[in-house]
Amino acid sequence: MTAPAADSGCVLCAQDGGALVWRGEKLRLIRAAEEGFPAFYRVIWNAHAAELSDLSDADRNLCMQAVAVVERAMRDALAPAKINLAALGNMVPHLHWHVIARHDWDSHFPASVWAAPLRARDADREAGVAAQLSMLDAQLAERLSAIFR
């Protein structure tokens, strides 16, 4: 199954969608600027597709392999309490996976990042995570490049 290359009204067709970490032929990885959650990444399918089932079996497997690579690298680098994965598409109907490192001290844990906060933010701990992201970005780009040449 082939998805259209672009949709002129789609924000993820028109722009990267965040700080570009890596771009391959079929997908890209960005780091999103989500306040309170410094290690918030998105794996974005480059061609316009609204749903995972719009992709061929091979492309679907490739997409999920990329999500798993990002998750593993985040776990290795940051040792979070949990990694949250989500593919909603309600606001932007372009296939993308949220990959979010969660810590038991974050303002929303254990609730969703989109829920109401449960406690005040811990700016010092957030800064500690943020300080590790340049190295993590490089590791992510290296791992993705090694698999998706």
- Predicted confidence at residue 71, as pLDDT, reads 99
Whether 2 is in a domain gets the answer: no
Whether 117 is in a domain gets the answer: yes
pLDDT tens for 3-61 read 445 666 899 998 988 999 999 999 999 999 999 999 999 999 999 999 999 999 999 99
Whether 68 is in a domain gets the answer: yes
Taking residues 54-72, report their average pLDDT. 98
Quote the DSSP letter at residue 66.
H
Rounded distance between C-alpha atoms, residue 130 and residue 119, angstroms: 20
pLDDT tens for 91-146 read 888 999 999 999 999 999 999 999 999 999 999 999 999 999 999 999 999 999 99
The answer to whether 68 and 120 are in contact (CB under 8 A) is: no
Burial class of residue 124 (count of CB atoms within 10 Å of its CB; 0-12, 13-18, 19+): exposed
Number of domains in the chain: 1
Task: Tell whether the model's pLDDT for residue 2 goes beyond 60.
Answer: no
Full domain range(s) for residue 78: 11-147
- Predicted confidence at residue 5, as pLDDT, reads 57
Whether 1 is in a domain gets the answer: no
Whether 59 is in a domain gets the answer: yes
Query: Could you tell me the CATH number of the domain that includes residue 82?
Result: 3.30.428.10
Whether 103 is in a domain gets the answer: yes
Taking residues 78-97, report their average pLDDT. 94
